[in-house]
Amino acid sequence: MRGSPTHGNLLRQINHWSLAAERLTHLDDLAAPAAWAGLEGYLGLELRNHLRKVAGALQSPVPSLRRALDDAMTADDVRRLQRRLVAFRARYLRAETTIDFFVDAINTRTNEEIASLLRACDQIAIRAMSDLLVPLGKTVPPILTYLDRGLGASILKAGLLLWDGGDINPVAGVKVVRHNLFRSTALIHEAGHQVAHFTEWNGELRSALRSALAPASRHLSNIWSSWASEIAADAFAFAHAGYGSVAGLHDVLAGSESFVFRLTPGDPHPTSYLRVLLGVAMCRAYYGDGPWDELAAGWERRYPLRQADAELSDIITRSKPLLPVVTRVALQEPMRAFGGRGLDRMIDPSRASPRALEDFERTTATPFDAPPGRLRTTGVRLLALSALKVATEPGNIAALTAQQRYWMRRLGGAVVTKAA
């Protein structure tokens, strides 16, 4: 077979894909040095080790492919080799998908300004997770936040198998959208998804919602329990950031009527209309009356139920009296995931009440000027405070954004002068 057109075609393809696989090992060619430098040292090391392992594993079949080509004598040998080559191509593409995800995320840090802000986001998410995972004796995974377009944040959770099918993902990748970089309570929502995964909270919350709502309606209990994973993340964000997280969610969801009244079978997100009102119910349960009441009234005026179809209108109408029950289950129900405690016993929402955050700002000397080490412990509360102020002082948003940029850059390790 050697010297035949078939041999040449196979040799060319093996050489092409093996060289492409070898290039994936050159991580410094894939992500800019400035972007790697924008990572915390431990995070960069974790990612390099993982990506080297992904790329290295891709090299292992190459010698065997070359031997099979040299030994191929029959048509059956050729067909077997062709099938193996197709499998190798597919394996390469899966590995490339894994590596490209992290490389693209890392490359959003080529600008030092953005790198410092994203390092701050890393620290905020880690702190939010640590507040719950550490008391439970669980490991807090590294976080890689990255900047991208769109309306909402998202997470590629640590602890899952990635596209390459190799080792589990050691680093949680969290998308932070540009428009919300300085109102990033969604970052805590995504951290909540990671916590729920590590503690197996979602399944437990799903069962608890189904049981609590079944006496009112079996149909509604099935609907609400199907939304358990997003309710969990929203409750986690509320427990850390209070009304600021609810107002931020409101502003992301306040789109067209068709968007707000969308109900998609299989979608884990509650319909937007009820999701905002559930956040308001959480505020009322822990803080009493407040600006969230006006937000809810404005929401219902802006989106009258007559704009929803008959099925969804019925679901909403029958669900509204049940929102306090959903709130209780999500925040107070004892969970095995939390050692038999409710979420609010792990993360106290009263620390994020407007009064508590105002007291924090008033009694803490220059909280925004604290040393970076101190900012790491207070960053979540500072985010909650900033989000509350943006929600309640809309005319002052430019100054509040400048203030948040200042302390986030300091938390992220940038050398900055005092905010104006």
Per-residue pLDDT tens digits for 369-420: 888 888 999 999 999 999 999 999 999 999 999 999 999 999 998 755 554 3
Is residue 57 pLDDT above 70, yes or no? Answer: yes
Given 77, 106, 135, which residue is the final one in a domain? 106
Q: Strand 154-156 and strand 143-148: pairing? A: unpaired
**Rounded Cα–Cα distance for residues 76 and 391 (Å):** 70
**145 in Cβ contact with 125 (< 8 Å):** yes
Residue 53 one-letter amino acid: K
Residues 199 and 341 in one domain: yes
Mean pLDDT of 105-127: 96
Given 306, 330, 351, which residue is the final one in a domain? 351
Given 334, 351, 368, which residue is the final one in a domain? 351
For residue 374, being part of any structural domain is answered with no
Mean pLDDT of 92-121: 95
Is residue 60 pLDDT above 60, yes or no? Answer: yes
- State both tokens at 250: 């409101």
For residue 296, being part of any structural domain is answered with yes
| Domain tally, the chain | 2
Mean pLDDT of 342-369: 92
| Percent of the chain whose pLDDT exceeds 70 | 97
For residue 151, being part of any structural domain is answered with no
**Rounded Cα–Cα distance for residues 319 and 220 (Å):** 7
Residues 77 and 213 in one domain: no
Residues 191 and 97 in one domain: no
Under the banding of pLDDT at 50, 70 and 90, the label for residue 174 is very high
3-state secondary structure of 172: strand
Tokens 């029958």 found at = 318
3-state secondary structure of 169: coil
Mean pLDDT of 182-196: 96
Mean pLDDT of 107-123: 95
Residues 301 and 210 in one domain: yes
Helix orientation angle between 75-106 and 5-23, rounded to the nearest 10 degrees: 20
Mean pLDDT, the chain, rounded, equals 94
**124 in Cβ contact with 380 (< 8 Å):** yes
pLDDT value, residue 415: 57
pLDDT value, residue 2: 65
- Structural domain including 16 reads 5-106
**Rounded Cα–Cα distance for residues 104 and 185 (Å):** 23
Per-residue pLDDT tens digits for 252-286: 999 999 999 999 999 999 999 999 999 999 999 99
Residues 96 and 245 in one domain: no
Mean pLDDT of 205-224: 98
Residues 325 and 214 in one domain: yes
For residue 323, being part of any structural domain is answered with yes
- State both tokens at 14: 């093996």
Q: Strand 172-177 and strand 154-156: pairing? A: antiparallel
Residues 334 and 185 in one domain: yes
Tell me how long the chain is. Answer: 420
pLDDT value, residue 419: 45
| Percent of the chain whose pLDDT exceeds 90 | 88
**145 in Cβ contact with 122 (< 8 Å):** yes
